[in-house]
Structure 1
Amino acid sequence: MRFFSCLCCGKRSDGKKKVKKTEPSWREFTPKELQAATNSFNYDNKLGEGRFGSVYWGQLPDGSQIAVKRLKAQSSCREEINFAVEVNLLGGIRHKNLLSARGYCAEGQERLIVYEYMPNLSLVSHLHSSESLLDWTRRMNIAVTSAQAIAYLHHHATPRVVHGDVRASNVLLDSEFEARITDFGYGKLMPEEDGATKTKNIGYLSPECVESGRESSSGDVYSFGVLLLELVTGKRPVERLNQTMKRGITEWVLPLVYEKKYGEIVDQRLNGKYVDKELKRVVLIGLMCAQSEPEKRPTMSEVVEMLMNESKEKMAYLEGIPLFNKKNGSEILS
């Protein structure tokens, strides 16, 4: 593999440096294999395009389906080294609700990551499509399993990982509609261009990330709060009111919480088929996560615990938070 034969600081690296194999399912693919699997990265195979590159559907000779992320070109030896280090990390992170990589390809200018294909695509395609509708049970399962995956990255992965791009399009769904979080770790894997962070969907970004461009675990919590509200309302993070005005999802939800009009918050396409206490709990947790002050947000481990705890005591605790007092709430979220 011609992975590091480039000039750096005037010296040529003659050795071939391979990414360490982390477990049997993790391997190096050849360009020829992935060209064949994706029909030469045919446009008809393209599943989408994101922050770090394009994704293509493919099929290996054994019949297994894959998704191949074709990353944007690296431009320096330092970025090549970062790629090698981060691919090692991606290969070693395993959780049932993270979309783990099956392997990689790094030859010439090509930098590709190979994943298992998720047949039910992303959460976006089900929340914002007239052709598909997730029932309440599936939505709650997605909320919990997504939270568990991000909590694993923050608190249990080695090393700890900040996702940096939590949003509905990065929540993929397997054949059983189980959540699989993808694109974790790419903030390090791919170099940021000037202003690249701010070109993401602003509706998910915490105020401090918008201001500084720096990603953090607390920023992930904010983004997850927006995701929770999107999941239960079926609305996008930012709604355009007219040609000049936009409204964030928290700005729309909070006044309805003050008036306890949860029935107006929930996705109306569910036709009343939801669990009242679960709706209330998820909405309150989502708003807690999306507070403007980072120090007031819970950790992802705390979010998981709150989502899974159905006790009256926990609900009373949530309702007593100053955020949900009309006098204080607007200031906390602004």
Structure 2
Amino acid sequence: MATIGSMWTGYPYIDVGDYSICVLQANSLQPIYLGKFISPVGVPKDKKLLAISGGSGFVCGLLYGSQFPICWGDIELPQSLENISFTSLNCGRSHCCAIRSDDSKINCWGIFIYKSPDQPFVSVSLGIDFSCGLTQDGNITCWGHLSDAIPQPDRGTGTFVSLFAGGYSICGIESSTRDILCWGEDASYTYAPSVFQFSSVTGGRYHMCGIRADNHQVVCWGQNNVYQLRAPKNVSFTAISAGDFYTCGFTRDGRLRVLCWGGYKEEYWEVNITGIHVSQAICSSRCRKDQYQTSKYGCPSLTDRVCLDCSVCTGDDIELVPCGINTDRVCGKPSLASHQGDIKNLRKLFLVLLYLIITLSFGLILMATFSYFTYMKKRKLETLANIVSFSRSDILYFSSAELREATNNYSDEMVLSKSASGNVYKGLLQNGQEVAIKQAKLFNSDENRSEKMFEKELHLLGRAHHSCLVNLIGYCEVDKLLVFEFMPRGTLSQNIYTKTPPLDWVSRIRIAEQAARGLEYLHRYASPSIIHRDVKSSNILLDYNWNAHVSNFGLCSLEETQASGTTITTPGYLDPEYGSCLRLTAKSDVYSFGVVLLELLSGEKPIDSSRNIQDLAAWVLDLVGRDEWNSVLDQKLALPPQPEPLYNAVKLSLECTKVRGKDRPTMSEVAQSSLPRRRVPVDLGAAQHIVTWHEDVPSVIMQQ
């Protein structure tokens, strides 16, 4: 029970990025629906709710003040329960249960409900067609469709202080150790991270996520077949709620954001709540001993307050500042003085050490200085990791000898491409892995500039990682070489214009979508954000399975186009606004992507002197203006029986290539909503966690 309730988005199909949540607004506590799925019918507009919980196409909650139940959507609340006050409420996929205020016994309603035990409970939590309650003595009792043959873990005292259910499994926080223990019909739940303590847990169909008690960050476990375990890193939360294949929550920072993850999106996303202030937690008359009052927004009654859980000190950390009325607990390492005992002895020890250091340091400094300059003359230090800090820990360092061996001493037969900025070689590492080895851009007249550019490019590439990018594997600092993933199918440009047979329509739409997702990552999720500045079909590479990967985004992002007076972007892809403002922006990448999309759809080059209109975007716009849609599409491929999805893709490309940047969509808008949508049925019965792809719109195209 919380101020956010996530609903199930459907079975067995989910759309990429589907979510469906209700949240309570601060101060008014009125519910508001947010999401991409069908909104539950009858969201009450004039009701104040204490808390809510969601199921499959419905939400139930407790009214603020009376704590009477209220439901809307695909569930029916029995009339006999409408005027009963409850202390807490929780919903599963198809039913809800609540604990009565008068005797702490449970009432349930919905589909597939089973008779609940006639005894008092302190909390209740629901999964798929089963319910569990926590008794006053810390025991867990379950009823409904859950196998009795699955034993509770035989660890600790066997009693619990908290209970959480989801899918086909149960988790509880053990009373003596505060460890989290999980059990159920899905074995993947048993791998709960026991190294952490959790303040709250929420469960989806095949996954669970918990808020850590020490830093309030989220950790998820279970199956990851639709990326439902990819919680945001280094982000603290006040509340989270899981749907079937996704989880959403309120951040603990000053912005009070709503973030979601899962739903077959590889990265988390932020829900647009412009103009909405969400209530971080349930309003209560007083905060518990382990809570503090937040000053962020309030409750309808001036006597109520919003309380957040205090941080818990774990491991070797001790309490430095206690949890106050309006402040969180501060934890940290114990001071040195507390372990030494006597401050005077510590001072004496310091003076002795200082004397020894001064005595020895003079000679050592002379020796170190001489050794340092001698060493630097022989070769430069090959540990760039001391200079550049990576976000990724898997970046490898290669020696010159390793890469010479991998490329057969940089033989001509290993050359993949040549350009003014350096050659790219195919390499075969000792472990059998194929890689692409690229020479960094060097400035012969300025060695110092070359060194700095290499460091900056390496720093930027080392922080970016996405399935739709050509990702960095490692580097060689001595020879200024960068080692990337190898893409055996070559460039998109080659596959459009020279290779046979031509790419089919389904492959082209998929490649466009993947390229859009790669650029969206660079613009929105990379830190710092990256503007590619040279998006073109030859900078989109294809792997063995014909998946698209955006390449060459590191060096382009470091060039100062205004200062140099020249631009990196290739003719035909250049943003028309560059001529007036001499500046390339994220919308410049959108324009270039629009040209690439036109290449995929038409099979035409960006600039072609043989056409009556040489510029591709202008040529397509002219044909569309004359209603000659079929003339736009690649004549090497048969026209599908229902070509409307391709016409829509042409419209999207023209939106991207509008003259004014402010009239173009963002890459996020392109990647998330504008390209043809795909339905993703999840193979729920397979132990391999296989995900099968079907194209909703392109399925018509595949009939040819």
Q: TM-score band (shorter)?
A: 0.7 to 0.9
**How many angstroms does 1:269 deviate by?**
0.7
Aligned runs of 1:181-260 on 2, under 5 Å? 181-189=550-558, 196-197=566-567, 200-210=569-579, 213-241=582-610, 247-260=614-627
Report what 2:674 is aligned to.
306
Deviations 1:226-267 (A, max 9, x none): 11101110000011138xx86100121112212322211110
**How many angstroms does 1:23 deviate by?**
3.4
Amino acid at match of 1:59: L
Aligned runs of 1:36-185 on 2, under 5 Å? 36-50=405-419, 52-74=421-443, 75-107=446-478, 110-185=479-554
Indicate the structure with greater strand content: 2
**Is residue 406–residue 427 contact of structure 2 (8 Å, CA) maintained in 1?**
yes
Cα distance in 1 between the residues matched to 2:455 and 2:437: 17
Pick closer, same or farther for the CA change 1:15–1:146 going to 2, 3 Å: closer
Deviations 1:45-70 (A, max 9, x none): 11112463221111111111000111
**How many angstroms does 1:22 deviate by?**
4.2
SS in 2 for 1:104: strand
**How many angstroms does 1:155 deviate by?**
1.0
Cα distance in 2 between the residues matched to 1:172 and 1:116: 10
Tell me, which stretches of 5 or more residues in structure 1 are unaligned?
Answer: 7-12, 311-334
Report what 1:329 is aligned to.
none
Question: Is structure 2 residue 622 aligned with structure 1 residue 267?
Answer: no
Amino acid at match of 1:265: V
Deviations 1:297-321 (A, max 9, x none): 11111112111459xxxxxxxxxxx
Amino acid at match of 2:629: Y
Cα distance in 2 between the residues matched to 1:122 and 1:27: 25
Cα distance in 2 between the residues matched to 1:134 and 1:97: 19
Amino acid at match of 1:100: N
**Is residue 83–residue 190 contact of structure 1 (8 Å, CA) maintained in 2?**
no
Cα distance in 1 between the residues matched to 2:420 and 2:566: 8
Deviations 1:256-296 (A, max 9, x none): 21232221111011122475122111111111111111111
Pick closer, same or farther for the CA change 1:189–1:294 going to 2, 3 Å: closer
Deviations 1:96-146 (A, max 9, x none): 101110011121xx3211011111111011100153410010000011111
Cα distance in 2 between the residues matched to 1:118 and 1:89: 21
Which of 404, 411, 417 matches 1:35?
404
RMSD: 2.7
Cα distance in 1 between the residues matched to 2:424 and 2:613: 30
Tell me, which stretches of 5 or more residues in structure 2 are unaligned?
Answer: 1-372, 679-704
Amino acid at match of 1:88: H
More displaced 10-residue stretch of structure 1: 46-55 or 281-290: 46-55
Report what 1:317 is aligned to.
none
Amino-acid identity (%): 34
Question: Is structure 2 residue 649 aligned with structure 1 residue 282?
Answer: yes
- TM-score normalised by length of structure 1: 0.80
Amino acid at match of 1:83: F
**How many angstroms does 1:197 deviate by?**
2.1
Cα distance in 1 between the residues matched to 2:456 and 2:640: 47
Amino acid at match of 2:457: E
**How many angstroms does 1:211 deviate by?**
5.1
Cα distance in 1 between the residues matched to 2:560 and 2:400: 23
**Is residue 645–residue 676 contact of structure 2 (8 Å, CA) maintained in 1?**
no
More displaced 10-residue stretch of structure 1: 124-133 or 277-286: 124-133
Cα distance in 2 between the residues matched to 1:16 and 1:103: 12
More displaced 10-residue stretch of structure 1: 229-238 or 28-37: 28-37
**Is residue 417–residue 425 contact of structure 2 (8 Å, CA) maintained in 1?**
yes
Cα distance in 1 between the residues matched to 2:607 and 2:633: 16
SS in 2 for 1:240: coil
Pick closer, same or farther for the CA change 1:274–1:289 going to 2, 3 Å: farther
Pick closer, same or farther for the CA change 1:155–1:235 going to 2, 3 Å: same
Amino acid at match of 2:461: L
Pick closer, same or farther for the CA change 1:51–1:220 going to 2, 3 Å: farther
**How many angstroms does 1:222 deviate by?**
0.6
Amino acid at match of 1:118: M
More displaced 10-residue stretch of structure 1: 37-46 or 231-240: 37-46
Cα distance in 1 between the residues matched to 2:557 and 2:634: 36
**How many angstroms does 1:175 deviate by?**
1.0
Report what 1:322 is aligned to.
none
Deviations 1:60-109 (A, max 9, x none): 111110001112324243542343233122112111101110011121xx
Deviations 1:186-217 (A, max 9, x none): 1244677956526x521001122355553210
Structure of higher RCO (CA pairs closer than 8 Å, 6+ residues apart): 1
Report what 1:318 is aligned to.
none
More displaced 10-residue stretch of structure 1: 247-256 or 23-32: 23-32
**Is residue 104–residue 113 contact of structure 1 (8 Å, CA) maintained in 2?**
yes
More displaced 10-residue stretch of structure 1: 213-222 or 97-106: 213-222
**Is residue 136–residue 274 contact of structure 1 (8 Å, CA) maintained in 2?**
no
Indicate the structure with greater helix content: 1
SS in 1 for 2:423: strand
